[in-house]
Amino acid sequence: MKITIITVVYNAEKYLKDCIESVLAQQYPNLEYILIDGQSSDSSFQIAKRYSENITVLISEPDAGMYDALNKGIALATGDVIGILNADDMLASDDVISEVADVFNDDRIAAVYGDLNYVAPDQVDKVQRKWRSQQANPKDLALGWMPAHPTLYVRANLFKKFGGYQLDFGSAADYELMLRFLYQHQIPAKYLPKLMVNMRSGGMSNQSWKHRYSALINDLKALRRNKIPSPALALVLKKLRKVKQFF
């Protein structure tokens, strides 16, 4: 089984090295790594080129944002399973992909996801929040629960069947995709109780109050698009569920 990991990059020179090396350190042998740079103005692409012998596909070209670049990566992927790793995140250990592959040995499983730590940007051993997941249940999704997107691995054929990231949802495009796959189409997903990703805190939806408001509106739009029965309630519960990550 081939597993594809896609990293999209735009001006991420500070942390990209850690991301790439966490992928290349994986014990799993049949791993395809696709890295798409959005024509960064910093040294991101130069950093990536240092690892070009071990990156399956390496591209630098303009795009329409992160999710457009992810869709490009999905179109180029030849793996049976596809996962996403953000340019400033890291796989938490060298056996993450091996354990993901073990779960996918069950042909009934369509998606796998696990646990994530939010870490301080410049002190990755300092854990600020812990996202501990649970077994997927459509009813829970309707009540604001979601898996950690950077830990999600999905069989590649499902992107062809149900579509990729929708660009009209802004920073909520990943949330919309998970609602579409896990709630609307109810694909069989398996929770892997393992720390899979260390994610540096401070994502694009949290950059300012304007970004946060935009993220809120797009979350609500995603809930409505996927016919969640009480979208406003789900949105409130989605925010409240984050509180326990701090304890």
Domains of the chain: 3-246 (3.90.550.10)
Nearest-10 crossing angle of helices 231-241, 209-225: 130
Put simply, whether the predicted model's pTM sits higher than 0.85 gets the answer: yes
pLDDT digit of tens for each residue in the chain (247 aa)? Answer: 999 999 999 999 999 999 999 999 999 999 999 999 999 999 999 999 999 999 999 999 999 999 999 999 999 999 999 999 999 999 999 999 999 999 999 999 999 999 999 999 999 999 999 999 999 899 999 999 999 999 999 999 999 999 999 999 999 999 999 999 999 999 999 999 999 999 998 755 455 677 788 889 999 999 999 999 999 999 999 988 888 887 7
